[in-house]
Amino acid sequence: MEWQLHPKMNKKLYLKDPEGSEIGKKILTHSVSLIKSLGFELFTFRKLAEDIGKTEATVYRYFENKHRLLNYIVAWYWHWLDYQLMFNTNNILDNRLKINIITNILTWQFEEKHAADYLFNMDDLHIIIMAESSKVYLTKNVFADNEDQLFKPYKNFCANIANVFIAYNPDYIYSRSLASTIVEMANFQDFFMTNLPSLTDFSETKSLKNVRDFLNSLIFSSLDAK
């Protein structure tokens, strides 16, 4: 039986719960498609409204602006990855194995998808995360947005990874920094591999498995260092 993942979203991200109506869901799914094809800079609520056959005012009833909409989409993704981390490492005691599972998740090496009927096209969403996710916090409003806990799903995901690092080596003092670094690095290397290949060693293979091996190399060389 397939089922949907319904993360609890921060109410300050939206004006009206988009997952509570068919129009709202349509706004979300079509936003992902448009942002992927146009880029966030060229994406507008007017274009979104035309795409879903509604008025621009309808879109504004759900989201204050396109930045809040992007933040919603990005937060949903981090909720989803955090779920993957929790589900795939549950009842596993070997912390080295947990770390390998984490890098599998970060590089999309899933053995199976436990909640397959997703709201979004996950491949399109992943492309947006690589190219656009940093735009939700690289703003003048970052402090206020952080006060409103808009980045909590991302911070929770990184904290859960850091906890695995701490369990593997309690004496390593940079677990949080290492966690956030590998999350960002997984996305950057994936993006560079396709778009700026001279910045990676994976331009020929274009293989996420190579990115995974690179992440494992960094993690274990750090955690195992004497």
CATH superfamily of 11-223: Tetracycline Repressor, domain 2 (1.10.357.10)
Positive/negative CA dihedral, 31, 64, 133, 96: negative
Per-residue pLDDT reduced to its tens digit, 56-100: 999 999 999 999 999 999 999 999 999 999 999 999 999 999 999
Percentage of the chain exceeding pLDDT 90: 86
Per-residue pLDDT reduced to its tens digit, 10-20: 999 999 999 99
Q: What is residue 112's predicted lDDT score, i.e. its pLDDT?
A: 55
Percentage of the chain exceeding pLDDT 70: 94
Give the pLDDT band of residue 118 (cuts 50, 70, 90). confident
Per-residue pLDDT reduced to its tens digit, 139-161: 999 999 999 999 999 999 999 99
Report d(CA 120, CA 49) in Å as an integer.
18
pTM exceeds 0.85: yes
What's the start-to-end Cα distance of the chain, in Å? 48
Report d(CA 21, CA 123) in Å as an integer.
24
**Pure H helices in 61-207:** 66-89, 95-106, 122-132, 142-147, 152-168, 175-195
Report d(CA 130, CA 192) in Å as an integer.
10
Q: What is residue 111's predicted lDDT score, i.e. its pLDDT?
A: 60
Report d(CA 226, CA 34) in Å as an integer.
49
Report d(CA 179, CA 33) in Å as an integer.
29
**19 close to 6: Cβ distance less than 8 angstroms:** yes
Report d(CA 72, CA 115) in Å as an integer.
20
Report d(CA 104, CA 149) in Å as an integer.
28
Highest-confidence range of 3-12, 78-87, 165-174, 198-207, by mean pLDDT? 165-174
Q: Which residue has the higher pLDDT, 110 or 65?
A: 65
**10 close to 102: Cβ distance less than 8 angstroms:** no
Question: Where are the chain's structural domains?
Answer: 11-223
Report d(CA 171, CA 223) in Å as an integer.
9
Average pLDDT score over residue span 165-189 = 97
Q: How far is CA 206 from CA 94, 112, 189, 194, 198, in A?
A: 30, 22, 10, 7, 12
